[in-house]
Structure 1
Amino acid sequence: MLTFAAAVFFLIVTPGPGVLSIAGVGAAFGGRAGLRYLIGLFIGTNLVALAVISGVAAVVLADPRIRTILFVISTAYLLYLAFRIATAGSRVAFIEARRQPGIRDGLALQAVNPKAYAVNTVMFSGFALFANAPVTEAVVKLLIVNAIWVPLHLLWLWAGVALRRLDLAPRVQRRINIAMALSMVTVVGLALWSLIRG
């Protein structure tokens, strides 16, 4: 069980769309918006876990056309979120965010987040804990995953909010928002590169 918990920790803590976007939302929009967004990520990641556990994700993602469509949607959505984070607080009217990311945005991200499916597949198909009790194993794994997932994402949100609370000059805050957005774009680029090479 400790091996599984360690694997969960390292799979979740590494920068991916979820943790980068929660830090970005915290830095760009503050703690309240970040918590709403976090609730959406939490619901979304658990729905993805249930899709993986039930086998629905394997059936759907077995078709390369569906995988490609989901990849395109996820890439477009991540770029959209990166744009919203980068332009938060911008005084240019045509790019100013009309609303802060919320529950719906977090849920949408996890629904199309390739890392969420990959991580959940590794966690729930490997690391046999109770070989003769698959339901018990799924429940225990969900509890362990969430016990690690929630504090790590709260920590990333806190890091983003802490940057915002430094009361930096607007120009510096904008640069931080852009850096967060560029980090998300880098993740998208790495995913594209691995898709092309694979």
Structure 2
Amino acid sequence: MLTFAAAVFFLMATPGPGVLSTAGVGAAFGARAGSRYVTGLFIGTNLVCLAIVSGLTAAILADDRLRTILFIASVAYLSYLACRIAFAGTKIAFIERASPPGIIGGIMLQAINPKAYAVNTTLFTGFGFWPQNLVFEIALKFLIVNAIWIPIHFSWLWLGIALRKMDLPAKSQRAINVAMALSMMAVVVLATLAQV
């Protein structure tokens, strides 16, 4: 169970569309709009988890070729995001929008977010720790995932708000970008190892 919790933390904390857009919404629109957006992401990520646990995702991915194509596409997308962040130069590479996306925007992002599917598939189909009672294990996994997901996303929201208020030198902003890109590549490595 501790291995599962550690995997949840590292897979959720690393930059992806959800946390980067959360930081961007916080930086651009503040805490109230950011909290509404995080609420939407929360609902969306739990809907993704339900699709995975219910077998809906498995039914769609029953074809090995399709699964391989989608896995490669997810890894490519995550790698693309890492490169985009790393080469953003001296501007912190948060993903921002012209207007606050709100709850519906958060739900919609998770519905199309390949990281949400890759991470939650890895978490809910792997890391078995209670084989005697699969229903209890899945319920406990939902509890652990959400207990870690909520503070991580609100931390990214706070980070976006805080960084907006700072006048960081170019070197510091570049260092932040490199750290975020390395974190994203850690997700790619973990996703790849999970498929081996």
Assess same fold via TM > 0.5.
yes
| Corresponding position of 2:126 | 126
Paired with 1:110 and 1:33, the residues of 2 have a C-alpha distance of: 17
User: CA contact under 8 A between 2:23 and 2:94: conserved in structure 1?
Assistant: no
Identity of aligned residues (%): 60
User: CA contact under 8 A between 1:30 and 1:164: conserved in structure 2?
Assistant: no
| Corresponding position of 1:51 | 51
The answer for unaligned runs of 5 or more in structure 1 is 89-96, 192-198
Paired with 2:110 and 2:18, the residues of 1 have a C-alpha distance of: 7
User: 1:129-152: per-residue Cα shift (whole Å, max 9, x none)?
Assistant: 211211101100000011111001
Q: How many residues matched?
A: 158
After the TM superposition, which parts of structure 1 deviate over 3 Å for at least 4 consecutive aligned residues? 61-65
Task: State the TM-score, normalized to the length of structure 1.
Answer: 0.68
2:58 is aligned with what amino acid? Answer: A
Paired with 1:160 and 1:83, the residues of 2 have a C-alpha distance of: 8
| Corresponding position of 2:88 | none
The answer for unaligned runs of 5 or more in structure 2 is 82-92, 189-196
Deviation of 1:61 (Å): 3.7
Deviation of 1:29 (Å): 1.2
User: CA contact under 8 A between 1:23 and 1:161: conserved in structure 2?
Assistant: yes
User: CA contact under 8 A between 2:27 and 2:164: conserved in structure 1?
Assistant: yes
Task: State the TM-score, normalized to the length of structure 2.
Answer: 0.69
2:103 is aligned with what amino acid? Answer: I
User: CA contact under 8 A between 1:22 and 1:153: conserved in structure 2?
Assistant: yes
| Corresponding position of 2:11 | 11
The 3-state SS of whatever aligns with 2:130 is coil
2:42 is aligned with what amino acid? Answer: F
Q: Given the superposition, is the C-alpha separation of residues 161 and 116 from structure 1 closer, same or farther in structure 2, using an over 3 Å criterion?
A: same
Paired with 2:141 and 2:160, the residues of 1 have a C-alpha distance of: 28
The 3-state SS of whatever aligns with 2:121 is helix
User: 1:147-166: per-residue Cα shift (whole Å, max 9, x none)?
Assistant: 11100111000000112334
